[in-house]
């Protein structure tokens, strides 16, 4: 039996980051992980491998559709799927081995196996029970499914299986037009699959700004994604055998019931917290009505000295949110007083163009009766975007009409995931749109779109005709 200051259960983004920070602060730390590699879902079967395939497939799209316009003439590129999978694996290995290296250098013990909390101050891994003054739960999440859909990770797959299909399917259907569905649908659409995305809701990306959602839907459909809204799947059946297996999907929309056949089906209807076998009945850690571990604003559970971070607790299921929670908990255990600002958590969808936002949407502000001003700048008027032949999208800055404080920023376009950091920093320091407009931005850059949108909130944009926009 070993004894530690802190034991972290789970080595995903929230877990490994909190373990490293605990060790840096002088706490004897161990991290429990049952996979053969560290990094959790994100590094192994989530964020990192999906971005590898998104990047590779985007390069293919560029070569097939845009190179010739720029005078780059070459033979039509072909996809070596096995080699692309190897590239993805190399990316995963580089990241997971990097975490293992950091654990060794920070003298963090890797307790290999699946962890549970049998009693206060104890963590069980296999047959071994370890003592801990503090426990941080970072057990993450798993893909959700739908009633009546049997997932085999071969013909009917979750996001995990979608990253490792044995071949490029001719016809593919994705259930769910959320973040995961759009990203995976984009990958396979670019690789040549006839891709249909079925979304039960009538509204596209309701969590994003309505203008961004509208423009994004138009762009994605133009790219070849067959996105069908108000299409509710009522049944699936796998037919055939061996390599000739396929799936028949029954769905309903405004025109009635339909049955369509596809080579593969991806179920992308969200994720749920993973707590199976984690807690003893008398552990003192409670679940909320949605199955998440209940925590307060400081990520403390109802059990003394037990914390939980990341996907297993309330809030958006985002790796960076889990990381910041992990750091906050580590530093609070060490006696510091940090907080996580949940008002400035950025969201990103890694399609192309990318979609990113922070703060409130225009429709939220209208619903709240807020008085605000809007500045928008299209990338079609941005020199760098035009030079790169990549000018879809725009930047939208929303500011309070009285104080000019930035309330929300929304970006649709190339490198939106990078541009949104400028807005996060601004909002973290309670900047006004005028503050952002007074900053000097390098030319030519995509960032100038952020500058012009901020100027536009007061009608001062230079490189477009100002159209005053105000809402309440």
- Tell me: do 176 and 228 sit in the same domain: yes
**What percent of the chain shows pLDDT beyond 90?**
96
Token pair belonging to 329: 């908990």
- Residue range 338-365: average pLDDT? 98
Q: What is the pLDDT of residues 436-451, one digit of tens each?
A: 999 999 999 999 999 9
Q: Shortest CA distance to 338 belongs to which of 351, 323, 356, 353?
A: 323
Q: Count other C-beta atoms under 10 Å from residue 1's C-beta.
A: 7
Which stretches of 145-219 are assigned E, i.e. beta strand?
Answer: 156-157, 171-175, 194-199
Calculate Rg over the CA atoms of the chain: 24
Token pair belonging to 443: 């030319």
- Tell me: do 218 and 132 sit in the same domain: no
- Residue range 300-328: average pLDDT? 98
pLDDT of residue 91: 98
pLDDT of residue 409: 98
What are the C-alpha distances in Å from 226 to residues 168, 231, 428? 17, 12, 38
Q: What is the pLDDT of residues 159-205, one digit of tens each?
A: 999 999 999 999 999 999 999 999 999 999 999 999 999 999 999 99
Please indicate whether residue 320 is annotated as part of the active site: no
Catalytic pick among 443, 451, 460, 463: 443
Least confident of 6-10, 205-209, 441-445, 462-466: 462-466
Tell me if 136 is assigned to some domain.
Answer: yes
Domain holding 443: CATH number? 3.30.390.30
- Tell me: do 311 and 460 sit in the same domain: no
Tell me if 47 is assigned to some domain.
Answer: yes
Q: Shortest CA distance to 34 belongs to which of 277, 332, 347, 354?
A: 277
Token pair belonging to 123: 């963590």
3-state secondary structure of 449: helix
Tell me if 8 is assigned to some domain.
Answer: yes
Position 376 confidence tier, pLDDT thresholds 50, 70, 90: very high
386 DSSP 8-state letter: H
The Cα–Cα gap between 111 and 8 comes to 10
pLDDT of residue 242: 87
**What percent of the chain shows pLDDT beyond 70?**
100
Last residue of a domain, one of 302, 319, 340: 340
Please, which residues have CB within 8 angstroms of residue 68's CB and are 6 or more apart in sequence? none
Cβ atoms of residues 9 and 57 within 8 Å: no
Over 80: is that where the pLDDT of 469 sits? no
What are the C-alpha distances in Å from 393 to residues 127, 376, 443? 55, 10, 19
The Cα–Cα gap between 246 and 157 comes to 12
- Tell me: do 103 and 164 sit in the same domain: no
Q: What is the value of pTM for the model shown?
A: 0.97
Token pair belonging to 20: 């490293």
- Domain extent at residue 38: 3-143+272-340
Q: Count other C-beta atoms under 10 Å from residue 160's C-beta.
A: 16
- Tell me: do 12 and 89 sit in the same domain: yes
Domain holding 259: CATH number? 3.50.50.60
Side-chain half-sphere exposure of 51, counting CA atoms within 13 A: 14
Torsion angles phi and psi, residue 409, rounded to 5: -135, 135
Mean pLDDT of the chain: 97
Count up the domains in the chain and report the number: 3
Helices then strands, each counted (H, E), the chain: 13, 23
Position 121 confidence tier, pLDDT thresholds 50, 70, 90: very high
pLDDT of residue 455: 97
Tell me if 98 is assigned to some domain.
Answer: yes
pLDDT of residue 134: 98
Tell me if 151 is assigned to some domain.
Answer: no
Please, which residues have CB within 8 angstroms of residue 438's CB and are 6 or more apart in sequence? none
- Tell me: do 284 and 259 sit in the same domain: no
- Tell me: do 278 and 232 sit in the same domain: no
Last residue of a domain, one of 340, 372, 398: 340
The Cα–Cα gap between 6 and 135 comes to 6
Last residue of a domain, one of 269, 284, 313: 269
- Tell me: do 187 and 99 sit in the same domain: no
Torsion angles phi and psi, residue 4, rounded to 5: -135, 160
What are the C-alpha distances in Å from 83 to residues 24, 167, 342? 39, 12, 40
Share of the chain residues as helix, strand and coil, in percent rounded to the nearest 5: 35, 25, 40
Token pair belonging to 278: 């984690």
Tell me if 149 is assigned to some domain.
Answer: no
Tell me if 413 is assigned to some domain.
Answer: yes
pLDDT of residue 468: 66
- Residue range 299-321: average pLDDT? 98
Q: Count other C-beta atoms under 10 Å from residue 120's C-beta.
A: 15
- Tell me: do 400 and 300 sit in the same domain: no
Tell me if 316 is assigned to some domain.
Answer: yes
Over 90: is that where the pLDDT of 76 sits? no
Higher pLDDT, 361 or 243: 361
Token pair belonging to 211: 């203008």
- Tell me: do 385 and 440 sit in the same domain: yes
- Tell me: do 259 and 279 sit in the same domain: no
pLDDT of residue 357: 98
The Cα–Cα gap between 343 and 177 comes to 25
- Tell me: do 137 and 276 sit in the same domain: yes
pLDDT of residue 109: 98
């Amino acid at each position: 039996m070993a004894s530690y200051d802190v034991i972290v259960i789970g080595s995903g983004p929230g877990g490994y980051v909190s373990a490293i920070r605990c060790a840096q602060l002088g706490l004897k730390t161990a991290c429990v992980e049952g996979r053969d590699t560290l990094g959790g879902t994100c590094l192994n079967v989530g964020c990192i491998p999906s971005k590898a395939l998104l990047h590779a497939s985007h390069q293919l799209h560029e070569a097939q559709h845009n190179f010739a316009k720029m005078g780059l003439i070459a033979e039509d590129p072909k996809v070596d799927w096995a080699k692309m999978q190897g590239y993805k694996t190399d990316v995963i290995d580089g990241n997971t081995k990097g975490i293992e290296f950091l654990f060794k250098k920070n003298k963090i013990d890797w307790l290999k196996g699946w962890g549970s909390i049998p009693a206060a101050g104890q963590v069980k891994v296999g047959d071994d029970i370890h003592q801990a003054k503090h426990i941080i739960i970072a057990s993450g999440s798993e893909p959700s499914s739908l009633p009546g859909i049997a997932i085999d990770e071969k013909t009917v797959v979750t996001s995990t299986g979608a990253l490792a299909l044995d071949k490029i399917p001719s016809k593919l259907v994705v259930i769910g037009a959320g973040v995961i569905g759009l990203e995976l649908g984009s990958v396979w659409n670019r690789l040549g699959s006839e891709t249909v995305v079925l979304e039960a809701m009538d509204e596209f990306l309701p969590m994003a700004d309505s203008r961004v959602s509208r423009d994004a839907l138009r762009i994605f459909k133009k790219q070849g994604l067959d996105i069908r809204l108000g299409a509710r799947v009522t049944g699936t059946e796998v037919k055939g055998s061996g390599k000739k297996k396929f799936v028949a999907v029954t769905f309903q929309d405004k025109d009635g019931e339909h049955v369509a056949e596809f080579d593969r089906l991806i179920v992308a209807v969200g994720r749920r917290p993973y707590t199976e076998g984690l807690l003893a009945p008398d552990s003192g850690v409670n679940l909320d009505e949605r199955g998440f571990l209940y925590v307060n604003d400081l990520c403390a559970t109802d059990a003394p000295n037990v914390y939980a971070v990341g996907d297993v607790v309330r809030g958006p299921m985002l790796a960076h949110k889990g990381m910041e929670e992990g750091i906050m908990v580590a530093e609070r255990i060490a006696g510091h007083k940090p907080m996580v600002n949940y008002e400035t958590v950025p969201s990103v969808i890694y399609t192309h163009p990318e979609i990113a936002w922070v703060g409130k949407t225009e429709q939220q502000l209208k619903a709240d009766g807020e008085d605000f001003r809007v500045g928008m700048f299209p990338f079609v008027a941005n020199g760098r975007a035009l030079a790169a032949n990549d000018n879809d999208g725009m930047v939208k800055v929303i500011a309070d009409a009285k104080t000019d404080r930035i309330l929300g920023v929304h970006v649709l376009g190339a490198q939106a995931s990078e541009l949104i950091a400028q807005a996060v920093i601004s909002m973290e320091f309670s900047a006004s749109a005028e503050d952002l407009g007074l900053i000097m931005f390098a030319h030519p850059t995509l960032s100038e779109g952020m500058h012009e949108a901020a100027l536009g909130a007061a009608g001062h944009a230079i490189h477009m005709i100002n159209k005053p926009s105000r809402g309440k």
